[in-house]
């Protein structure tokens, strides 16, 4: 007999976070999330998301064994920005069993209806500014930093439960061997041309990190405001993310475009720390995980380019090509072998074409689902 139990204690939360470790214990592509980061993300008062929105966590049991989990997420800021009544589900994991999935979605949807939602979509953890999407293609490789992973059977289970495609998210892989050098070769000429217009490309200044973060947030909230599912990040949310990223940030992969001391674009690449996390059992840094993280960073050969944005009035001037070109050039110098550009909306033809032009290969697809509730 299966039953759904709300997460009400620290012990329940630990079980919620640890369930995927058991589910994927024999899956070589699974990368455990850091326990402390997940704990903070799912605890009101520790993550700034809860300053404006609510989350309810549920576990599915069969007897005394956990067989699934789900988070129901009511994002007040998203609904205010989009003028909709959406609910979200996330942190979704399950055994290959339709009854379990149906029960989890029913419980999450019921809670969201009580909050006023008439649609549920996901998976999203906690918003589209965080990890989101269901992996539907590309199961043969582990995910890169801050990208999700799930078993292939999830897709059929969700579709059997009545969820339908909302959109697909693309992940492209670029290797140093196959990359088209055109953007690198043209970079100097493009930058010279941009300078004549007063536009400069430079690395982020870590000595003025707080000031830089304020400027980058303005560009982020401006450049992505028309994207599906986008919701502006609050100051506290952006600072929270920036604080975490600063620990692994390399200025050679975080570049900004500036005109008259005003930021008009930026690109952010981060080392693929999943190459280390995959070796850290159950995402615990203690007692030995922290040493794997600290000493393994120098051996990382992968990069994830997770954001590239230029404010609307400055697009199609070559800024994007310069940012990409500089990251590629710096990556080669530092021994990076592969880079993933993710995620991209399937209908973002401009940026997808730009990646394909430098021989980026579409190698993973993720899907967002929706359903009326």
Query: What's the whole-model pTM score?
Result: 0.92
Q: For residue 288, what pLDDT is reported?
A: 59
d(CA 287, CA 302) in angstroms, rounded, equals 26
Same fold, 2-168 and 174-365: yes
d(CA 351, CA 188) in angstroms, rounded, equals 21
Q: pLDDT tens, 69-101?
A: 999 999 999 999 999 999 999 999 999 999 999
Average pLDDT estimate for 197-223: 89
Largest pairwise CA distance in the chain:
71
Specify the CATH number for 2-168; select among 3.30.70.260, 3.40.50.720, 3.40.630.30, 3.90.550.10: 3.40.630.30
Q: For residue 132, what pLDDT is reported?
A: 95
Q: For residue 290, what pLDDT is reported?
A: 61
Q: pLDDT tens, 245-302?
A: 888 889 999 999 999 889 999 999 999 999 988 988 888 866 555 656 666 677 899 9
- Do residues 108 and 89 lie in contact, with contact meaning Cβ atoms separated by under 8 Å? yes
The residue written with tokens 């930021």 in the block is: 263
Sort strands 134-137 and 131-132 into parallel, antiparallel or unpaired.
Answer: unpaired
Q: pLDDT tens, 9-20?
A: 999 999 999 999
Sort strands 86-94 and 119-122 into parallel, antiparallel or unpaired.
Answer: parallel
Regarding the domain with residue range 174-365, which homologous superfamily does it belong to in the CATH classification?
Gcn5-related N-acetyltransferase (GNAT) (3.40.630.30)
Q: For residue 305, what pLDDT is reported?
A: 93
**How far does Cα 109 stand from its chain's mean position?**
23
Locate the domains of the chain by residue range: 2-168, 174-365
Q: For residue 181, what pLDDT is reported?
A: 73
Instruction: Report the alpha-carbon angle 172-146-274, nearest 5.
Output: 90
Q: pLDDT tens, 316-359?
A: 888 888 888 888 889 888 999 999 999 999 998 878 888 888 88
Q: For residue 263, what pLDDT is reported?
A: 92
In three-state form (DSSP H/G/I as H, E/B as E, the rest C), the secondary structure along the chain is CEEEEECCCHHHHHHHHHHHHHHCCCCCCCCCCCHHHHHHHCCECCEHHHHCCEEEEEEEEECCEEEEEEEEEECHHHHHHHCCCEEEEEEEEECCCHHHHHHHHHHHHHHHHHHCCCEEEECEECCCCCEECEEEECCCCCCCCCCCCCCCCHHHHHHHCCCEEEEEEEEEEEECCCCCCHHHHHHHHHHHHHHHCCEEEEECCHHHHHHHHHHHHHHHHHHCCCCCCCCCCCHHHHHHHHHHHHCCCCHHHEEEEEECCEEEEEEEEEECCHHHHCCCHHHCCCCCHHHHHHHHHHHCCEEEEEEEEECHHHCCCCHHHHHHHHHHHHHHHCCCCEEEEEEEECCCHHHHHHHHHCCCEEEEEEEEEEEEC
d(CA 242, CA 225) in angstroms, rounded, equals 19
Sort strands 361-372 and 134-137 into parallel, antiparallel or unpaired.
Answer: antiparallel
Q: pLDDT tens, 162-187?
A: 999 999 999 999 998 888 777 677 77
- Do residues 276 and 292 lie in contact, with contact meaning Cβ atoms separated by under 8 Å? yes
Is pLDDT larger for residue 110 or for residue 317?
110
């Amino acid at each position: 007999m299966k039953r759904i139990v709300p997460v009400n204690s620290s012990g329940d939360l630990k079980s919620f976070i640890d369930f995927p470790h058991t589910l994927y214990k024999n899956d070589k592509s699974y990368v455990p999330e850091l326990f402390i980061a997940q704990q903070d993300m799912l605890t009101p008062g520790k993550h700034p998301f809860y300053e404006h929105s609510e989350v309810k966590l549920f576990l599915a049991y069969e007897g005394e064994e956990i067989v699934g989990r789900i988070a129901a997420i009511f994002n007040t800021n998203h609904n205010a920005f989009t003028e909709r009544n959406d609910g979200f589900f996330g942190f979704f994991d399950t055994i290959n069993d339709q009854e379990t999935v149906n029960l989890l979605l029913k419980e999450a949807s019921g809670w969201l209806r009580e909050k006023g939602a008439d649609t549920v979509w996901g998976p999203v953890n906690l918003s589209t500014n965080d990890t989101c999407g269901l992996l539907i293609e590309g199961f043969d490789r582990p995910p890169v930093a801050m990208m999700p992973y799930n078993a292939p059977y999830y897709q059929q289970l969700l579709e059997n439960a009545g969820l339908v495609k909302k959109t697909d998210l693309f992940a492209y892989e670029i290797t140093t061997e196959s990359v088209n050098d055109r953007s690198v070769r043209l970079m100097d000429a493009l930058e010279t041309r941009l300078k004549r217009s007063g536009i400069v490309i430079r690395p982020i200044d870590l000595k003025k990190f707080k000031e830089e973060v304020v400027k980058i947030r303005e560009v982020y909230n401006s450049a992505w405001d028309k994207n599906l599912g986008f919701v502006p990040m609050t100051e506290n949310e952006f600072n929270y993310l920036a604080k975490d990223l600063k620990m692994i940030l390399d200025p050679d992969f975080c570049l900004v475009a500036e005109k008259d001391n005003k930021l008009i674009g930026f690109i952010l690449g981060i080392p693929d720390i999943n190459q280390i996390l995959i070796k850290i059992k159950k995402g615990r840094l203690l007692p030995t995980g922290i040493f794997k993280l600290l000493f393994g960073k120098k051996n990382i050969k992968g990069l994830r380019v997770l954001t590239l944005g230029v404010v609307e009035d400055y697009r199609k001037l070559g800024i994007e090509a310069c940012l990409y070109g500089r990251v590629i050039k710096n990556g080669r110098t530092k021994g990076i072998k592969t880079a993933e550009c993710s995620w991209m909306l399937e209908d973002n033809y401009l940026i997808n074409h730009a990646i394909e032009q430098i021989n980026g290969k579409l190698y993973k697809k993720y899907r967002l689902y929706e359903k009326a509730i």
